[in-house]
Structure formats: structure tokens, C-alpha cells
Structure 1
Amino acid sequence: MLLLPATVTMEDARDALGMLEQALKREPEGDIVIDASGLQQFDTALIALLLECERLAQAWGKRMSVRHMPPKLASLAKLYGVDGLLQLEASAAAV
């Protein structure tokens, strides 16, 4: 399981993507789970970051899902119409 940093905004999304890209490469074949439970501050850059991670995972023959997402992340994904592209699982508190 890969952990998202506490903050993913326009200012630090490039660094977060680099870290996640390296981690995605190291993950064994099959499912990749990204844990969003530690997210405290984020903006729409997180949606772009997750879409890029999904694209990379598919290119490497892997499947990706996001667990423990905050309700705001689900709302952003739905607003931008990408909730169907990302495998997002709500946190227990949000259900």
C-alpha cells in the first residue's frame, strides 16, 4: 500500500508524483492501493496526480485503487467527471 503525503497542492504535486511514480515501479504485478487516509490539505492538483498514477499503472499492466479518501476528494472527482476513471473507496467515516 502506498501512502499519499498529508499535503498535495499545486506547489508540491510534482514532488508527490515523482515519489509515487518510483513507488509504483517497485510494486509487484497486480493491484496497487493508494491510501489517502493521511490527506489533510489538497486541491485539484491531487485529481491530476491520481489520474497520472492510474495512467502509469495501466501502462505497466497494473491496477490502481485509492482507499480512505476524504469526502472532499470524492466530490472533486465527481465534479470533474473522473470518478469513474479512478477506483475510489470512501473512508469509513465518510460512508
Structure 2
Amino acid sequence: MVVRDAAPPPDRRRRVVIQIETLPWAAHAKCLQADPETFFPEKGGSTREAKRICGECPVRNECLEHALENDERFGIWGGLSERERRKLKRMAS
């Protein structure tokens, strides 16, 4: 089953893109070459394309680590939705 989280408001998405661009590994992030909306689908929207892009990204692990450390609550980070990241955190504790 694909988990679909609600998208954050547009201003939050813009802040996230700016935030990503400042991270040391961001120059290699595949997501910066794609439409940010892909990574923040509306509730019920598909996450397939975002996860495909993440699957090809050389900094996927760094991205996921960032999302886990910063408790990112929206969007696809490191190939996982917020719900999938929560599950990963529970399994790790």
C-alpha cells in the first residue's frame, strides 16, 4: 500500500526547497531538478514519481537522515513518506 500524506501549504513547500538548497549534500540531490510539487502530493495524490526520483538519487541516505533528524512531517524525503519515516523511527527505537 502506498502511503499518501497531506501536502503542506505552498509557503512551507517553498521554505523546504530553500532549506534543501543550503544543505551540504544538496548539490547532488535529484529532487532539485524536479518540480517540488512532486515531493509534496496533495492528500490522495501519487508518490510514485517522487519515490522513483529518490531511488536514483546519490544523496538519498543523507536526505532521509536529514528528515529523520529534523522531524520533517510532510513530503517524500529519502524515498519515504512521513508515515513510512515514523514507522522506521519506531522500529529503530
TM-score normalised to structure 1 length: 0.32
Structure ranking higher in helix proportion = 2
